[in-house]
Each structure stands twice: as C-alpha cells, then as structure tokens.
Chain A
C-alpha cells in the first residue's frame, strides 16, 4: 500500500548485533503496530503505538524496543539479534475509523545468522 512503507525489505544480520526496522506512513494515522509472522504462529503483536511517544507492549515484546518520535515513523529495534528473531516483520497503521481494518506494509524479511 502506497501509504505505508517498510525498510529495509530484506536484511541478513549476525547474532548479537542491533537491528532497526523502519515503518513510515503518509496517512497521518494515530495507531501503528509491529507484528511478526512465523510458520505455525500466524501474526503476533510485538509492540504498538497510540500516538507520538506513546507505546505499549504486545504479546511477544521480549528482545524488542520501539520508538515513535514523529507521527509518521515507528521504529522497531532488536537490541541484540538472536536466531529466534528470524522472521517476517509487518508494520500496520490504523485510524480505527470505519471498518477498523488495519493497513499493512509489505514486510521486512529478517534473517539472523
């Protein structure tokens, strides 16, 4: 979707290194979310934000931190990457209006070796 972009699209990193994934939106939506998708687990919520500098933990937040200094950007940081964090990461945005559907980005495929 043109209103939300994730970067990078693919990344390979070494165990123990910090990694930051970026989600950028042009929709001015208040709510932003980070999910990870793994085989056999579906989509699981990592962290979410309900405004600038307002964030909270999701179901699988251990080993991750987030920051939102501007409405349009939501950063996900793996403080010290582990192989268990190899996954596809999706960012989503919402204004919780209408059908309450989230708009998802195209994903970042992260491989920790």
Chain B
C-alpha cells in the first residue's frame, strides 16, 4: 500500500510559468516532508522540506505548501526554468527526522518547454 502518492507521472510547463507538483500521503504519523530533484544518471538532490507544524516554506523560486487536513502537499516553482526539467520525488518521514528512512513517492517528471 503506497503511503506517499504522486499521481502525475509527468507534467509539461512553459518556461517562465508556474510549475505545481502535487503529493498526497496516507500515513497520519508523517511529520516531516521533503522534495528531491533527480537528473538522469545522478542521485537525487535535496530541494526543500517542511515540518508538519508549518503550512508553508519558501526558498527562492521554490515553495512547498502543506495541507494536513487533506494530507496533501505541493511544490510550486516560479518562474520555471529549463534547468528545472527533472524528476521530482516527494518524501515523508514518521520519525521526526528520517532516522529509519524516508518514504518516497514514485516521482513526477517535469518538462519545461521553451
């Protein structure tokens, strides 16, 4: 049973516009959420995170929103740039820090069109 779901395998967005990637979770024990970005033939790299005590966290062009009642989070990228084309993974932790591992979604392939 998948505890972290990314229901859009791919997303195409025009350069300069907003990219919105969505993630849903089922485990109410998750208290920390992260987004990772992955280019082909490379390992995932940490992008941004949010604790369950917050509903928004912003870092430059990247903002993560958390809606705990809906068990939903989203990553906004504004403005989208060609270098943002990658696979984005949503991840969650139930141990307040991920000591026993993060649970990942299947990923969303973001394609930025020129």
List the interface of chain A (C-beta within 8 A of B).
1, 31, 33, 35, 40-45, 48, 50, 56, 58-59, 90, 92, 94, 96, 99-107
List the interface of chain B (C-beta within 8 A of A).
6, 32, 34, 36, 41-46, 49, 89, 91, 93, 97-107
Interface of B is mostly: loop
Nearest A-chain residue to B102, judged by Cβ: A102
Q: Does A104 contact B89, Cβ atoms closer than 8 Å?
A: no
Q: Does B34 contact A58, Cβ atoms closer than 8 Å?
A: no
Docked Cα-Cα span, A58 to B98, in Å, equals: 12
Chain A positions within 8 Å of B89 at CB level = 42-43
Q: Does A42 contact B43, Cβ atoms closer than 8 Å?
A: no
- 30 pairs, A vs B, C-beta closer than 8 Å: A1-B43, A1-B45, A35-B104, A42-B6, A42-B105, A42-B106, A43-B44, A43-B89, A43-B91, A43-B104, A45-B101, A45-B103, A50-B99, A58-B101, A90-B43, A94-B98, A96-B98, A99-B34, A99-B49, A100-B98, A101-B36, A101-B46, A101-B49, A102-B46, A104-B44, A104-B45, A106-B41, A106-B42, A107-B41, A107-B42
Docked Cα-Cα span, A60 to B31, in Å, equals: 23
Nearest B-chain residue to A95, judged by Cβ: B97
Docked Cα-Cα span, A94 to B44, in Å, equals: 14
Chain A positions within 8 Å of B107 at CB level = 42
